[in-house]
Amino acid sequence: MPNPSLQQTRSPVPPALAGRSTGAAVLPTSVRVQQVVQVFEPGGPPVLDRIDLDVGPGEFVCLLGASGCGKSTLLSLIAGLATPTSGCIEVTVGRPALMFQEPALLPWLTAAGNVELALRARGVGRRERRTAAERLLELVNLAGQGRKRVHELSGGMRQRVALARALAQYSQLLLMDEPFAALDAITRDALHEELTRLWAEQGLSIVFVTHNVREAVRLGQRVLLMSSRPGRIVREWQVELSQPRAIESPGVSALATEITGHLRAEIRRHAR
């Protein structure tokens, strides 16, 4: 049942599907996804099938799955870019910020201009925007680079500008859709460090979608494995390793090996 005290309720729970709830229901959550089903063509197979997901304040959750598991679809549902066919999504912390695989910066604006646009959308005044953008760029180690155009930045720098723009939304909830998948391994490593630091400093809740098992274990407090066609959450791991973790550390490797086994088993089901 949608709780009237929650700020955003996008879709009512159909009575037939209502009634299941996770054990963490009493704790405050940033996002609560309940029994979400997403079907693209009427009568067609569901892309997402009865997804339940709670993300607590300050929690870092990684959604892991092969292609076609609907992890990106789930993220755009949480971001409010689409409405679920049934089920209910409650975001209690206002409009979430969303990062894509591509930086998706506006190429006619400078780095600072891109960050400032997010501030402008929130109604921040001109002078305040300038100083805030400068501070946000410094936060992602891009101090003094604000005047550069997008094409003058490397891939990693662009993705950090995109991160600064997402932070400029001052949302408690950051949704990330394979944000580092297009970067080389060294740059990705740097951005993992950057992200874990910002997550701890800013007290963000993060939902991070990836198909990279080590990345999921490197970053998340919780790793959720999704099956494909239909997308379901099939398994969950708590990552007890302390941050900062190194992606090549034995702890990360061991858990990644275990999860990879399950991921491959999931994928094998689709053979034939």
Q: Which of 151, 185, 250, 272 binds other proteins (CB under 8 A)?
A: 151
Q: Does 243 bind other proteins (CB under 8 A)?
A: no
Classify residue 70 as exposed, middle or buried by CB count within 10 Å of its CB (0-12, 13-18, 19+): buried
Shortest separation between residue 20's beta carbon and other proteins, angstroms? 30
Could you say which residues in the range 171-190 bind other proteins, by CB under 8 A? 186-187, 190
Contact indicator for 199, 221 with CB cutoff of 8 Å: no
C-alpha distances (whole Å) from 85 to each of 68, 82, 90, 196, 232 are 18, 9, 15, 34, 15
| Only segment of 24-32, 33-41, 62-70, 101-109 that touches other proteins (CB under 8 A) | 101-109
- State the maximum Cα–Cα separation within the chain, in Å, rounded to a whole number: 61
Rounded Cα gap, residues 138 and 132, in angstroms: 10
Q: Does 143 bind other proteins (CB under 8 A)?
A: yes
Kind plus residue range of the DSSP H or E element containing 262: helix 250-268
Q: Does 75 bind other proteins (CB under 8 A)?
A: no
Q: Which is nearer to other proteins, 93 or 213 (CB)?
A: 93
Residues 6+ apart with CB under 8 A from 89: 8, 9, 10, 11, 31, 32, 33, 34, 36, 77, 78
Q: Which is nearer to other proteins, 196 or 212 (CB)?
A: 196
Q: Which is nearer to other proteins, 29 or 169 (CB)?
A: 169
Please report, as ranges, the residues that interact with other proteins according to CB under 8 A.
Answer: 79, 81, 95, 97-98, 100, 102, 104, 106-108, 117-118, 120-122, 138, 141, 143, 149-157, 165, 169, 186-187, 190, 193-194, 197, 244
